[in-house]
Amino acid sequence: MNQTQQVGYQRTRWLTLIGTVITQFALGSVYTWSLFNGQLSQKLDAPVSQVAFSFGLLSLGLAIASSLAGKLQERFGVRCVTIGAGVLMALGFWLTAHASNLMMLYFSAGLLVGLADGAGYLMTLSNCVKWFPERKGMISACAIGAYGLGSLGFKFICGALLSSVGLEQTFILWGVLAMAMIVVGALLMHDAPLQSAASVRQQHNRDYTLAQSVRLPQYWMLALMFLTACMSGLYVIGVAKDIGEGLVHLSTQIAANAVTVIAIANLSGRLVLGVLSDRMARIRVISLAQIVSLIGMSVLLFTHMNETTFFLSLACVAFSFGGTITVFPSLVSDFFGLNNLTKNYGLLYLGFGIGSVLGSLAASLFGGFTVTFSLIMTLLVISLFLSLTIRLPHGPVTARPVLQRH
């Protein structure tokens, strides 16, 4: 590569990073959903629990679309799929603004917005990581950190809109703003070039297709680790306020501070463990995250909590969860190569959707927090054992030539 090509390459990949960060910020806005439950409940004359179910559908749609985005990118390219995701998200919010019953809400805010968010989230993240093979952890931290900050930024934007223009107009303006950011971000992006055969050989021929990856035990070991991290993080984060009121007997106002503690710890985990993963073996970073989560779960399960230990336990679980979902894309590329990362990580990412409902399902089946905490604790111990014993695959798999868009 001559100097002119090198300058062009550097410019293209940094523009792709900027576009990815802008897009991820807009996609992360869906995590402000709890702001709308109360007013939607009044509008539709339905219980808050039934309205909130739309977010569960959104999470499931996100996971499903994430698993399929690699195929879409192969056919249409990262830019076109991302623009499509932005348009679909705006359509989903426009229909949500006009939803007159629960089924329409589930279709618009659950299915459409979830599919849009998932189509953009994992594909743009994986594509950006491929552009920076020498600093995958830091790039994951930037992209997923932006996704997390999006929920914080849009909390203020949507809160201000709700108080000034009302529920319906807020959804419409939210959709337009998110779409504009996603389209601008998409126009800055380029599809990452495939790794050369020489690069693949340097990684001991690790360049597995999805069909090859799923035949390896390492794939399912990583899948269980990821599912466990998502289940523990999403369940505890989802019921944190209820744990504070029910187990620690805190006032509603003090228990509500859990949201702030979780947000700070989650973002810290993304940044700290993401950067750390470029400086030590990524699987060891996952082991560290699992130990931190085990400490938090042990406090929840085995101690008589006070306000301090309650917030400490939440911080441990949120820190571990944020760090794990940041490191995992790069970890999957370490095991199975960069060229098929979007598809290899996409299937594994279904664990996010499954994990989001497993904790709540266990709690409703067996009653209360204790049994669910015990189940999560058991899975964490198993996952820690797997992370300490797993080894990189060493198979004679070579890169396949694929036409690449630019």
On whether the pTM is more than 0.85, the answer is no
Closest among 254, 213, 226, 235 to 337, alpha carbons compared = 213
Task: Please give the pLDDT value at position 169.
Answer: 95
Spatial CB neighbours of 275, under 8 Å, sequence gap ≥ 6: 137, 138, 141
398 has a pLDDT exceeding 80: no
Task: Please give the pLDDT value at position 195.
Answer: 63
Lowest mean pLDDT among 110-124, 193-207, 245-259: 193-207
Task: Quote the tokens at residue 354.
Answer: 């499954």
396 has a pLDDT exceeding 80: no
Radius of gyration in angstroms for the set of CA atoms belonging to the chain, rounded to a whole number: 21
The percent of residues above 70 in pLDDT, for the chain, comes to: 94
Lowest mean pLDDT among 2-6, 110-114, 303-307: 2-6
Lowest mean pLDDT among 14-18, 79-83, 354-358, 383-387: 354-358
Rounded to whole angstroms, the Cα distance separating 381 from 7 reads 48
The percent of residues above 90 in pLDDT, for the chain, comes to: 43
Cα angle 355, 312, 282; round to 5 = 55
Rounded to whole angstroms, the Cα distance separating 190 from 3 reads 20
Tell me which of 17 and 52 has the higher pLDDT. Answer: 17
Tell me which of 322 and 245 has the higher pLDDT. Answer: 322
Task: Please give the pLDDT value at position 200.
Answer: 54
Ramachandran assignment for 268, one of left (phi > 0), alpha (psi -120 to 50 degrees), beta (any other): alpha
Task: Please give the pLDDT value at position 228.
Answer: 95
Q: What is the mean pLDDT of residues 314-336?
A: 92
220 has a pLDDT exceeding 90: yes
> Under DSSP, is residue 102 helix (H, G, I), strand (E, B) or coil?
helix
Q: Please, are residues 78 and 190 in contact by the beta-carbon 8 Å criterion?
A: yes
Q: Please, are residues 351 and 60 in contact by the beta-carbon 8 Å criterion?
A: no
Task: Please give the pLDDT value at position 331.
Answer: 93
Closest among 306, 317, 333 to 380, alpha carbons compared = 317
Q: Please, are residues 285 and 327 in contact by the beta-carbon 8 Å criterion?
A: yes
Q: What is the mean pLDDT of residues 195-201?
A: 55
Q: What is the mean pLDDT of residues 22-38?
A: 87
Would you place residue 16 in the very low, low, confident or very high pLDDT band (cuts 50, 70, 90)?
very high
Q: What is the mean pLDDT of residues 133-154?
A: 86
In residues, how long is the chain? 406
Tell me which of 125 and 394 has the higher pLDDT. Answer: 125
- If you search the block for the tokens 């380029």, which residue do you land on? 190
> Under DSSP, is residue 404 helix (H, G, I), strand (E, B) or coil?
coil
Task: Please give the pLDDT value at position 1.
Answer: 66
Four-residue CA torsion sign, 54, 59, 60, 61: positive
Task: Quote the tokens at residue 372.
Answer: 């669910």
Q: What is the mean pLDDT of residues 295-309?
A: 89
> Under DSSP, is residue 77 helix (H, G, I), strand (E, B) or coil?
coil
Task: Please give the pLDDT value at position 395.
Answer: 58
Spatial CB neighbours of 390, under 8 Å, sequence gap ≥ 6: 218, 221, 222, 283
Q: Chain-wide mean pLDDT for the chain?
A: 87
Task: Please give the pLDDT value at position 134.
Answer: 84
291 has a pLDDT exceeding 60: yes
Task: Please give the pLDDT value at position 199.
Answer: 57
